[in-house]
Structure 1
Amino acid sequence: MKSETAAGVLDPAPEEGGDDTQIGEQIRALRKIKGFTLQQMAEGAGISTGYLSQIERNRSKLPIGVLKKIANLLGVQMSWFFQPETLGPAEERDLIVRAHRRRKMSFTGTGIREELLSPNLNGPLELLLSTIAPGSDSDFYSHDGAEAGLVIEGVLDLWIGDKSFRLQVGDSFSFDSNQQHRCANPGEQPTKVVWVITPPHY
């Protein structure tokens, strides 16, 4: 998505190399526009003021669960932090996503980059491509709905509740996302996973 300025205009973030920084900057900019102090927003999101300050300055890990709390407090969907390309031809909108027009988001400090493959988040599910850097992982979290996925590159360690699994290319999975879950790349090459999440989580 785009970051809102005081004039109400949404400024796009850079396409490459700036996604992590842009999320922190967008959080800070939107917080100020909404009139929240650091302390007010930190309390509302259930995190410390120091942690929020570090997030805004891109000096701390930003797990998806924390970003979701911040997004909820700021009154935006998590998809707000995705960076869209040009919208493309009118006849393709809400139907087709060209590879060069995917909306992207990286989670600061986690080594995980998401690309939104769904044309929009208005339907019953979302489709994502996750690229997980070697040695990177997510925190445990849970949410309403269900998830399924397919490993298309690399190796994926997946924890679902009290169970853990190692998945290779071609392996797939499905689970109730109300269970605590997390993933990691234990390999030396990037891992890529296509995820289906319902209802849309971002």
Structure 2
Amino acid sequence: MTSPIAPQSPEDATAVNLGLQLRTARRKSGMTLRELARKLGVSPSFLSQIENGKSQPSVATLYSMAQTLGVSIDHLFESEDAPDEPAEAPADKPVADEEPGTVRRSDLGSLERVWQDTGSTGRLSVTSPGNRTRLVMDTGVVWEQLATNTAHQLDFIEIVYPPGSSSTNDERMLRHDGFEYGYLLEGELEVTFGFETFLLHAGEALGLNSSVPHLFRNLTTAPARGIWFVHHDHN
């Protein structure tokens, strides 16, 4: 005897309808999931969860989405059995929609030699916003190189974890030689280090042995931003 299917709660139905309305509005605007995510400062996976009715956005995020898509909040909550979508609207293809230079973090391994090899160990390095080398991960996480004269011994970087983002898309924990030292400027990160999981808050710092499996996740609706030093071991 088969078990009866549990009826969908009003909250679940609202989330599903809202997700459908948002996806329809996005496709009518001609934007891909990644383009909208970049404009809003969130991860594509977070937007995908919203569009699929698996997560509900905060009021602030929903307002920003409505403004960016050029629709009203009331319109997004209209009940429709099947929202009209353009017949020619292409299916979202995460790989094809990635911006040029997107890096698959799961395949990257160590951060050593990840930046363009300048070989510079000069006495002075000065960088400015908008003119720094950036790496955008497939998870939405962004790294910015803050100094170019660290050769291969160090990485001095700013990291940004958009809402809902993680170190890897498949939740695979990372491990590589060396040590990491981080100071969180704003937001909150869930840190899994070996068998331990804890929250790192703004104003807190950490140092960890990178050879121990680890993973960072932003479970909040606000970006998490920090300054990181990564020291590479050399045999």
Partner of residue 221, structure 2: 188
- Choose from 166, 177, 197 the match for 2:199: 166
The secondary structure found in structure 1 opposite 2:106 is: helix
Shift of 1:99: 2.4
Partner of residue 45, structure 1: none
Q: Could you state the TM-score of these two structures normalised by the residue count of structure 1?
A: 0.56
Larger radius of gyration: 2
Distance in 1 separating the partners of 2:212 and 2:114:
21
How many residues matched? 132
Partner of residue 101, structure 1: 131
The secondary structure found in structure 1 opposite 2:147 is: coil
Distance in 1 separating the partners of 2:137 and 2:175:
17
CA contact (8 A) 1:63 1:138 kept: no
Shift of 1:56: 6.2
CA contact (8 A) 1:93 1:119 kept: no
* Ranges in structure 1 where 5+ consecutive residues have no aligned partner: 1-16, 18-53, 83-91
CA shift in 2, pair 1:170/1:95, >3 Å = same
1:15-94 equivalence runs, <5 A: 57-58=96-97, 63-68=104-109, 77-80=113-116
Distance in 2 separating the partners of 1:112 and 1:187:
14
Shift of 1:123: 5.1
CA contact (8 A) 1:55 1:62 kept: no
Shift of 1:67: 3.4
CA contact (8 A) 2:109 2:176 kept: no
Deviations 1:114-159 (A, max 9, x none): 1111224415211111111101101311100000101101111111
Shift of 1:186: 1.1
Partner of residue 147, structure 2: 118
Instruction: Write the letter of the residue equivalent to 2:96.
Output: R
